[in-house]
Structure 1
């Protein structure tokens, strides 16, 4: 086991921070650049013909690798680095974070009355090497009318979440059934995360 039982989290997601706290995992943030002037450290553009699982795997691995590189460039205390990425998939269509209200309305309208997949990939990079896993859950939405969709999209909830919703927020009232990992749908499947961190030398009771 490592002398210092702590990791770096390469994610700005408050939900991932909350889940790590819930699991009793100590961490510091190691944030990647996602804006101008030099552009993002890792782009989240879907490549032509790229399947959803391949996409989320690739983006997560790139985030973990870049964070590991930054840790060394900044001469930070070496620790395992955890990165993650979540995408919502309806059929074969990837639904990312809506750019505006109109896109959020479009996404919620597509999801209403349907069952979709939530893919969350996690990657851990450490001195022992790198490992990754992707967890897949299914989420079923009830049928929604225009008023319900508009009321939700008038809130702040849809705009930093894949698929335009968060299961831990007000959208929970739309969800009729889930199959898989609740924490995975939130953005960090804790069972798989703990497995990877143990392999990287982090002690988790």
Structure 2
């Protein structure tokens, strides 16, 4: 398999990088300096993650990337909504993570992951967006960590860096009771929808 353009993932997320690596989708890491707190969190889960993913794209740092005429850039955001309807991001600290997990265990939660994929061309000394695909995937799930397991889970997972403290991969897998929707979307990047978007951007060369 060959690839027509380089893909830059503007995310430091371990889970997203792992998903792309396991799917054998080559990428390079880029950086962004978006302040997510200025986005409107008083709207539906789907709209919040979509706004944040686009906001991140608008703050990707591409000044040092000048070796290609055309590139693809990917940003994403994942948020969870607990059984009581509260939208949860990454835990603020350890105690907050414990609280998030205990609440999640009481019922069914929702998760939404949005990605923004841009095709950009370099012209006249700057990058210009020539195409954009934004997609949101929602799933429902039950992630139940018993109280006696919470400290062990947090010590052995990446829950402290995950939305709602919920990391279903690796050590977190035994606590995922069920999911209705996209597993990779729950992890942090819906690969079926992303592969389709990459095909539309002519990323793959067969």
Range of TM-score over shorter length: 0.7 to 0.9
Residue 79 of structure 1 pairs with residue 66 of structure 2: no
The 10-residue stretch of structure 1 (23-32 or 53-62) with the greater mean CA deviation from structure 2 = 23-32
Number of matched residues?
192
CA positional deviation for 1:51: 2.3
CA positional deviation for 1:21: 1.9
Match of 2:204, SS?
coil
CA positional deviation for 1:18: 1.6
Superposition map of 1:160-175 within 5 A: 160-175=161-176
CA offsets, 1:12-40, max 9 Å, x none? 112211211222221111112xxxxxxxx
The 1-side partners of 2:41 and 2:88 are apart by 15
TM-score by length of 2: 0.84
Question: Does the 8 A contact of 1:198 with 1:204 survive in 2?
Answer: no
Question: Does the 8 A contact of 1:117 with 1:137 survive in 2?
Answer: yes
Match of 2:127? none
> Comparing both structures, which one devotes a greater share of its residues to strand?
2
Residue 111 of structure 1 pairs with residue 101 of structure 2: no
Match of 2:126? none
The 10-residue stretch of structure 1 (185-194 or 48-57) with the greater mean CA deviation from structure 2 = 48-57
Match of 1:126? 119
CA positional deviation for 1:177: 0.7
CA offsets, 1:79-129, max 9 Å, x none? 010111111112431111112111011000100131111101011011431
Which sections of structure 2, spanning at least 5 residues, go unmatched? 121-129
Match of 1:185? 186
Check 1:185–1:48 CA distance in 2 against 1; reply closer, same or farther (3 A cut). Answer: closer
The 1-side partners of 2:45 and 2:9 are apart by 23
Match of 1:30? 30
Question: Does the 8 A contact of 1:81 with 1:125 survive in 2?
Answer: yes
Match of 2:92? 99
CA positional deviation for 1:49: 2.3
Match of 1:12? 12
The 2-side partners of 1:3 and 1:186 are apart by 25
Residue 49 of structure 1 pairs with residue 42 of structure 2: yes
TM-score by length of 1: 0.84
Q: Which runs of 4+ in 1 moved over 6 A?
A: none
Question: Does the 8 A contact of 2:156 with 2:171 survive in 1?
Answer: no
Which sections of structure 1, spanning at least 5 residues, go unmatched? 33-40
CA positional deviation for 1:75: 4.7
The 1-side partners of 2:146 and 2:65 are apart by 53
